[in-house]
Chains A and B, each alone.
Chain A
Amino acid sequence: MDLLRFATAGSVDDGKSTLIGRLLLDSKAIFEDQLEAVEATSQSKGYDYTDLALLTDGLRSEREQGITIDVAYRYFATPNRKFIIADTPGHAQYTRNMVTGASTADLGIVLVDARHGLTEQSRRHAVLLSLLRVPHLVLAVNKMDLVDFDQETYTKIHQEFTAFATKLNIPDLEIIPISALQGDNVVNRSENMPWYQGPSLMHHLEHVHVASDRDLVDVRFPVQFVVRPKSDEHHDYRGYGGMVAGGVLRPGDEVIVLPSGMTSKIAGIDLFDQEVSEAFPPMSVTVRLEDDLDVSRGDMIARVRNAPTPSQDIDAMVCWMTNEPLRPRQKLAIKHTTRTGRALVKDVQYRMDVNTLHRDQETKELGLNEIGRVQFRTTVPLLCDPYSKNRTTGSFILIDEATGVTVGAGMING
């Protein structure tokens, strides 16, 4: 069984909670005691129906306000696949949560209300998912029951979105007409929309091919932890623990260690007490080298003629996540793979309007939830790839040194 992570996006009233509730309910991921609690609360609040949103709004303040304020992760499984949902809030002011949820997703679902068609919000979410390089996108045209399952309404939204998507980087797009409330095309194909020949949402989630979305060519192994047992039994053992970020490593491969540039060969790859013949993303393994090099956390193992370029000048798209704006000359802590350092903001080249994709070059600041292109100078060279090539070696976070809070997320250009 394999794993699919997906993020859901959509405005408050597009029926996101209902859709998630239905996916969980129909895949039997909701237990009787949870459902009873939700039924009891719905009743005590005087609702006419069971509010499935109560299943997913986990915090007291969320239930009080009836809105989702933070990303939540939920789990369900079918006989074919296990799923992790990053349930991200739709409110405009929570773009950072949407970015958070999308950063690890294989697939993004954008919901639109069939009655209203594409809104600014749906475009924004599609832009964010494309910026975050979520490889698969589903546009779920919801509330089809409220437009009498009308094919023309669907076709119009389909055409409008396909035209918009050509401006974005979306390698795989599926547009599915659904009714989350009534269950049409969610798990089972709808009898109300015989004109629709495509898969149900669940069928698509179960079958979309995600294995090829990883880079299995360019070897990238950020050294995370040096394993040196101080025991008689393993006196000479020296291994480098880490998670493979790209490519396939095999014993005997010639490798280079960055930033030192020293070369060696892989002597062995250990997975706990076993030796393995290969390691690929996202395996956590321990790599041993033939030579006794000075390798420490923050270094990277790569192939000799295929290594990332160490650079202290970083050009990236940044999503800013805090009230105090990002400004030129600002100093921040930066974490990239297993390497941390400090970064100086050299320039804010432009701020991007995520609704229109317009690049505003006048403004030299990024406010809360804004995205722009920023140049940094870092204290340590980062061993990076363009984010478009590798989501692990192409991403970083920015941390406010005074408060310790994560204030920004960056995706390296190139």
Chain B
Amino acid sequence: MTAPHSDYRLSQLDQLEAESIHIFREVASEFEKPVLLFSGGKDSIVMLRLAEKAFYPAKIPFPLMQVDTGFDFPEVLATRDAWVDRLSIRMIVASVDDAIADGVVVDDGKTSRNRLQIGTLLNGIEEHGFTAAFGGGRRDEEKARAKERVYSHRDEFGQWDPKMQRPELWSLYNGKIREGEHMRIFPLSNWTELDIWHYIHQEQIEIPSIYFSHEREIIERDGMLLSASDAVQPKGNETIEKRTVRFRTVGDMTLTGCVESTAANTAQIIDEIAIARVTERGATRGDDRFSEAAMEDRKKEGYF
């Protein structure tokens, strides 16, 4: 038996963990059909770990759903499968390719896979009748997200209306929804990028290998370092180079850039993040660069 806290104070990580577990249990108690949206990235995996803790020794009482863009990193898919196996949790894959084939979303050759995820995701939620969907969004990621509630209401079109958000007081979450509506749930709202890394380090959580420094063939495009693959080939005078890199976020290969880094373990990553001068999305996400309100606009349409 352990007595970790003789002065009855919780460290901030323990406090964040306790609050997230509270949220997972609250949703599992009050919603008929929750689902955990899983991208395979570090935040998703921390969510899985917290859900595991919330219900232990029982199994996590809801499935995972991954929106497969068709351009996911193989390393990410491998880690996903390892977690699914270990937790014996049910996994649903909502595929963008299938959604295109079924006419749910339209690939006009210009729209990014990231945007096509919106329709694919909403279709997946509707098809399975999910009433609550956990997302790994954190308020520190972006200024529109700083405004988001832990329970974020979505209407029957899956839309977010920032002006109509429900006030959220104490730890009393209001999960009332009407037919066809659903709630997005953000258990990591109050975590920062650094908290996530400290937690991964403390708990020794298995995450995809691409977060750690490795040699990779990359193409430099608009100041971003993209991974060379079938989907990303050199254009114009671009060339393929070998560089020592790692990823700060993982998303679809066509839009997610990596950073040059020699950080090969979680302790080194923490040191690197602590002095980073650019946000994780600013450094590595093409999708947020379209306009100042790019995230807000996507969220209103139903994005995470």
- Are the C-beta atoms of B8 and A227 separated by less than 8 Å? no
Residue contact B189 to A224, C-beta cutoff 8 Å: no
The chain B residue with its CB closest to the CB of A322 is B167
Q: In the bound complex, do residue B19 and residue A282 qualify as a contact, i.e. CB atoms below 8 Å apart?
A: yes
Indicate whether A50 reaches chain B with its CB closer than 8 angstroms. no
Q: Would you give 22 A-B contacts (Cβ < 8 Å), ordered by A?
A: A3-B15, A41-B292, A58-B144, A58-B145, A59-B144, A61-B163, A72-B146, A82-B12, A84-B190, A97-B167, A100-B168, A104-B170, A224-B22, A224-B25, A237-B57, A241-B55, A270-B56, A276-B3, A282-B18, A284-B25, A297-B29, A405-B174
B189 contacts which chain A residues (CB < 8 A)? 73
Shortest distance in angstroms between B168's beta carbon and chain A's nearest beta carbon? 6
Residues of the A chain whose Cβ atoms lie less than 8 Å from the Cβ of B170: 103-104, 391-392, 395, 397
Q: Is B89 an interface residue (CB 8 A)?
A: no
B residues in contact with A71, CB < 8 Å: 147
- The secondary-structure label for the interface of chain A is mixed
**Known contacts A82-B12, A103-B169, A405-B166; A31 and B146 CB within 8 A of each other:** no
Q: Distance (Å) between the CB of A312 and the closest chain B CB?
A: 19
Q: Does A70 contact B162, Cβ atoms closer than 8 Å? A: yes
Contact partner, A211, options B1, B7, B19, B277, Cβ 8 Å: B7
Neighbouring B residues of A286 by C-beta, 8 Å = 56
A227 partner, pick from B58, B276, B278, beta carbons under 8 A: B58
Decide if A152 is an interface residue (CB 8 Å cutoff): no
Residues of B within 8 A of A (CB): 1-5, 7-12, 14-19, 21-22, 25-26, 28-29, 52-59, 139-140, 142-147, 153, 162-163, 165-172, 174, 176-178, 189-190, 192, 194-195, 276-279, 282-283, 292-293, 296
Check A77 for interface membership: any CB of B closer than 8 A: yes
Partner of B15, one of A74, A274, A282: A282
Which residues, 233 to 255 on A, are CB-close (under 8 Å) to B? 233-234, 237, 241-243, 248, 251
**Given A58-B146, A75-B140, A282-B10, is A33 in contact with B15 using a C-beta cutoff of 8 Å?**
no
The interface size of chain A toward B, counting residues with CB under 8 Å, comes to 83
If A70-B163, A392-B170, A395-B169 touch, whether A34 touches B147 (CB-CB below 8 Å) is no
Whole-angstrom CA separation of A242 from B176 in the bound complex = 21
Instruction: Identify which of A60, A224, A225, A405 contacts B293 (C-beta below 8 A).
Output: A60
Interface residue A406 (Cβ < 8 Å from any Cβ of B): yes
Shortest CB-to-CB span from A104 to chain B, Å, is 6
B192/A243 in contact, CB under 8 A: no
Chain A 80-115 interface residues, beta-carbon cutoff 8 Å to B: 82, 84, 87, 96-97, 99-100, 103-104
Nearest residue, chain B, Cβ from A72: B146
Q: A395-B169, A404-B178 are in contact. Are A234 and B58 (CB under 8 A)?
A: yes
Interface residue ranges of A17-55 to B (CB < 8 Å): 31-34, 37, 41, 55
Q: Judge whether B167 and A409 touch: CB under 8 Å.
A: yes
**Residues of A contacting B26 with CB < 8 Å?**
224, 338
B12 touches A1 (CB 8 A): yes
Contact between chains at A284 and B22 (CB < 8 Å): yes
Q: Is the CB of B169 within 8 A of A100?
A: yes
Nearest CB of chain A from residue B21's CB, rounded to whole Å: 4
Complex: how many Å from CA A337 to CA B1?
Answer: 29
In angstroms, Cα B146 to Cα A74, docked, is 6
User: Looking at the complex, which one of B55, B144, B163, B282 makes contact with A69 (CB distance below 8 Å)?
Assistant: B163
Residue interface bits A291-322, CB-to-B below 8 A is 1, else 0? 00000010000000000000000000000010
B138–chain A nearest beta-carbon distance, Å: 9
Closest to A237 in B: B57
Point out the residue from B3, B9, B277 that lies within 8 Å of A2, measured CB to CB: B9
B165: chain A residues at CB < 8 Å are 70
Q: Does the CB pair A31–B282 fall under 8 Å?
A: yes
Residues on A with beta carbons closer than 8 Å to the beta carbon of B169: 99-100, 103-104, 395, 397, 406, 409
- The chain A residue sitting closest to B281, CB to CB, is A33
B29 and A37 contacting across the interface, CB-CB below 8 Å: no
Do the beta carbons of A33 and B279 come within 8 Å of each other? Answer: yes
- Inter-chain contact B29/A224, CB cutoff 8 Å: yes
Determine the distance from Cα of A291 to Cα of B50 in the docked complex, in whole angstroms.
29
Query: Judging by beta carbons under 8 Å apart, are A72 and B147 in contact?
Result: yes
Instruction: Tell whether A59 pairs with B147 under 8 Å between CB atoms, given A276-B4, A395-B169, A397-B169.
Output: yes
Is the CB–CB distance between A333 and B192 below 8 Å? no
Whether B293 contacts A273 by the Cβ 8 Å rule is no
A228: B residues at CB distance < 8 A: 58
Given contacts A234-B58, A277-B2, A333-B176, contact A58 B163 (CB under 8 A): no
Q: Are A31 and B163 in contact (CB under 8 A)?
A: no
Question: Which residue of chain A has its CB nearest to the CB of B283?
Answer: A33
Q: Give per-residue flags for A114-136: 1 if the beta carbon is below 8 A from chain B beta carbons, else 0.
A: 00000000000000000000000
B17 contacts across to A, CB distance below 8 A:
284
A73-B139, A225-B25, A276-B4 are known contacts. Are A59 and B162 too (CB-CB below 8 A)? Answer: yes
Bound: A316/B25 CA distance, A: 28
The reply to whether the CB of A399 lies closer than 8 angstroms to some CB of chain B is yes
Given contacts A34-B282, A100-B167, A284-B21, contact A60 B172 (CB under 8 A): no
Q: Which residue of A has the minimal Cβ distance to B282?
A: A33
Q: With A276-B4, A405-B166 known to touch, is A227 a contact of B55 (CB < 8 Å)? A: yes
List chain B residues, Cβ under 8 A from A233: 57
Q: Chain A residues with Cβ under 8 A from B18's Cβ?
A: 243, 282-284
Given contacts A73-B146, A284-B22, contact A229 B59 (CB under 8 A): yes
A389 within 8 A of B: no
Take A73-B189, A225-B28, A241-B54 as given contacts and tell me if A31 and B279 are in contact as well, using a CB distance cutoff of 8 Å.
Answer: yes
11 more contacts with CB within 8 A, not counting A216-B8, A231-B57, A397-B174, are A55-B143, A72-B139, A75-B190, A211-B9, A225-B28, A234-B57, A243-B19, A280-B8, A405-B166, A406-B166, A406-B167
Query: Which 8 residue pairs across A and B have the least CB separation, nearest first?
Result: A33-B282, A58-B143, A404-B176, A229-B58, A3-B12, A284-B21, A225-B25, A103-B169
Q: A63 to B52, alpha carbons, bound, how many Å?
A: 40
Q: In the bound complex, what is the Cα–Cα distance between A405 and B57 (angstroms)?
A: 35
* Closest chain A CB from B136 CB (angstroms): 16
Are B172 and A335 interface neighbours, CB within 8 A?
Answer: yes
A149 CB-CB contact with B under 8 Å:
no
Are the CB atoms of A272 and B56 closer together than 8 Å? yes
Question: Residue B174 contacts which of A3, A87, A103, A399 (CB distance < 8 angstroms)?
Answer: A399
For A400-414 the 0/1 string (1 means CB < 8 A from B) is 010011100100000
A142 lies within 8 A of chain B by Cβ: no
